[in-house]
Amino acid sequence: MNDVDDRDLLTGLANAGTARRQLGDWLQAGDARVHALLLVLGRFDSVNLAHGADAGDFALAEVARRITHFGQDEFLQGQWFAARIEGGKFLLATREECSRERWQFLAEALADGIAQPLGGISTALPQLWPHVALIRALAGDDPAGILGRLSDAQIALRGEPGRRIVWIDREDTPPGMGATQVEAELRRALDENAVSLKFQPQFAIADDAIIGAEALVRWNQPLLGSVGGEALLRIAARADLTTQLTRRVVGAALKLVLAWPAGLKCSINITAADLAVARFPQELLDMMGDLAVDPARITLEITEQALLGDLDLAARSLGLLRDAGVRIALDDFGAGFCNFGYLKYLPLDIIKLDRIMLDGVAENARDRAVLRGVMAMARALDLEVLAEGVENERQREIAAEEGCTAYQGFLRAKPLTQADFLELVGARD
């Protein structure tokens, strides 16, 4: 599905025809039970009518970006795809093993993410209310039947105000794992230190030497499976556990870094909730001091979404940490609305190019020109650039040609446990 003719030109996702073919291939191959969901944007027509086609196009592209990031967080490469069916209708499908409870949970988490406010253009856009229909394919199902039944189920939701998730069999949420219980389970897991870390290796682009890794938090829940990324953050936010989760991640990562060879750096993600706490910088530096971890070995990653609150407080907090030796990276750059003002206002060392910046760059001259412009700006500001989501040699070559200093992605390694990461490092010495 890398051919541009198989993509929706507005969103970059697979188009409806490609989605049908992919579903057909999976079903014909007799893969593990295929799961699919149809997400339809409520109130989308009002965006075009009230704010114009440009605002509608922006909303569709942003929703596509959020769905793509969600899929990349939750599923293995090659085991999922997303497509824009038409208008404000999107399909997400996977062939990974997935319990009914997990698919319901993932649908709720995705809907929460899509419903977040849209920013980035001059006019305020209304909140989009996604409706989601779910299906687990059975023997004998075909793509047309699956898409038709999903569409019928979604249409039925319009007559049920307040309900946004529906199974085509009309069953209710699986018993025993409602939102309240999920939040309680996460609280218990944090209290018992039952969340774990994996590490996404990062490589120097000049010689493929390992320079460090990004810490990724995972919560393995018996019914829901492995939960991480945006889905986990949404649960933590609803339960007011975001800062507690960050502290667990930071504490665990700092302890594990002590076993790494000298010189390797660990990147840790922080959130808007962390930056809203004035004492956060000192607490973080105290944790490093207690464990005797050199701040220069730590990179904190922030997203533009995390900066939508008190930007002055965020700049001060990050400045204190940077003065102590911690490096600061702006994550997911190139996705969303790319507020370039952050690059001059914040004390940054690195920008991490979102994987969307490399999608199609080998085939599309305009995409290559945009990448080249971002790289020129980074050089002017003396910022290092790390490319995310590098999945093939051609993407790596282009990142190197345009001046990226480092990269991460499935081309060289998937997220690894601490033991596997150290084994990879040792094998390359």
Q: Which of 188-200 are b and which e, b meaning 16 or more Cβ less than 10 Å from the residue's Cβ?
A: ebbeeeebbbbbb
Question: Diameter of the chain by CA atoms?
Answer: 62
119-128, 380-389, 416-425: least confident range: 119-128
For range 183-194, the mean pLDDT: 91
Q: Which of 71-75, 92-96, 301-305 has the lowest mean pLDDT?
A: 301-305
Give the residue ranges of DSSP H helices in 214-328.
229-238, 242-257, 272-275, 280-291, 311-323
Contacts for 98 with CB less than 8 Å, ≥ 6 apart: 33, 35, 106, 136, 225
Q: What's the predicted TM-score (pTM) here?
A: 0.77
Instruction: List, in order, residues 6 or more apart from 237 with CB less than 8 Å away.
Output: 273
Q: Residue 136 has which token pair?
A: 């687990």
**At 32, which amino acid appears?**
A
Q: Which two tokens stand for residue 103?
A: 């698919």
The torsion angle over the Cα atoms of residues 237, 64, 42 and 158, rounded to 10 degrees, is -100
Q: What percentage of the chain reaches a pLDDT higher than 70?
A: 87
List, in sequence order, every beta strand (DSSP E) within 119-223. 129-136, 165-167, 196-204, 210-221
Q: How many CB atoms lie within 10 A of CB 358?
A: 28
User: What percent of the chain has pLDDT above 90?
Assistant: 45
> 178-192, 244-258, 331-345: lowest mean pLDDT where?
331-345
Residue 169 has pLDDT above 70, yes or no: no
Question: pLDDT band at 248, cuts 50/70/90?
Answer: very high
| pLDDT tens, position by position, 249-267 | 999 999 999 999 999 999 9
Task: Look at residue 115 in the predicted model and tell me its pLDDT.
Answer: 86
pLDDT (tens digit per residue) in 221-244: 888 888 888 888 888 888 889 999
Q: pLDDT tens digit string along 103-117? A: 988 998 899 888 887
| 359 pLDDT higher than 80 | no
The predicted pLDDT at position 187 comes to 92
Q: What is the mean pLDDT of residues 287-297?
A: 97
Q: What is d(CA 218, CA 369) in angstroms, rounded to the nearest whole number?
A: 37
Higher pLDDT, 123 or 150: 150
DSSP-derived pairing of the beta strands 80-86 and 89-94? antiparallel
Mean pLDDT across 390-407: 94
Amino acid at site 217: V
280/286 Cα distance (integer angstroms): 10
CA distance 270 to 247: 10
For residue 174, pLDDT over 70 is answered with no
- The DSSP output letter for 160 is S
Contact 52, 156 (CB under 8 A): no
Tokens 């010495």 correspond to 429
Rounded to an integer, what is the distance from CA 196 to the centroid of its chain?
18
Torsion angle of the four alpha carbons 374, 336, 17, 140, in this order, in degrees rounded to the nearest 10 = 130
Buried b (16+ CB within 10 A) or exposed e, 219-230: bebebbbebbbb
Q: For residue range 8-57, what is the model confidence (pLDDT) as tens digits? A: 877 888 999 999 999 999 988 876 579 999 998 876 766 666 667 777 78
Flag whether pLDDT at 1 surpasses 50. no
Residues 6+ apart with CB under 8 A from 372: 402
Q: Which domains does the chain have, with CATH numbers?
A: 4-167 (3.30.70.270), 179-428 (3.20.20.450)
